[in-house]
């Protein structure tokens, strides 16, 4: 698993983008009390369902791997030379 230098920032941006995608698709309405972990897992499963990212084996689905997978998904959407990709 290749780590990104700015993985925490990539994950935060990915989570915001994923939440906007899910709510824009009218698939879910997140509450303020929902944890970031729950939101991340939901966004991951929605992106897998919509075939935007490849699924991981179920025994590998954990908070750490979901965070990394979302960060990688978002990193691939950024233009080359973006500061988060350094």
Nearest to 72 by CA among 30, 17, 19, 21: 17
pLDDT value of position 1:
61
- C-alpha dihedral sign at 61, 63, 64, 69: positive
Tell me the two tokens of residue 23.
């709510």
* pTM confidence score: 0.89
Query: Domain residue spans in the chain?
Result: 7-79
Q: Which of 23 and 3 is assigned the larger pLDDT?
A: 23
Q: What is the pLDDT of residues 19-54, one digit of tens each?
A: 999 999 998 999 989 999 999 999 999 999 999 999
Alpha carbons 86 and 82: distance in angstroms, whole number: 7
CA-to-CA dists, residue 81 to 1, 61, 77, angstroms? 22, 30, 12
> Please, what is the average pLDDT of the chain?
91
pLDDT at 17 over 70: yes
Domain 7-79 CATH assignment equals 3.40.50.300: no
């Amino acid at each position: 698993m290749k780590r990104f230098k700015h993985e925490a920032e990539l994950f935060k941006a990915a989570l915001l983008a994923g939440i906007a995608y899910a709510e824009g698709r009218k698939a879910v309405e997140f509450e303020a009390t929902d944890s970031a972990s729950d939101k991340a897992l939901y966004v991951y499963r929605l992106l897998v369902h919509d075939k935007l990212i490849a699924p991981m084996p179920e025994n590998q689905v954990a908070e750490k791997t979901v965070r990394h997978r979302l960060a990688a998904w978002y990193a691939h959407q950024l233009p080359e030379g973006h500061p988060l990709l350094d």
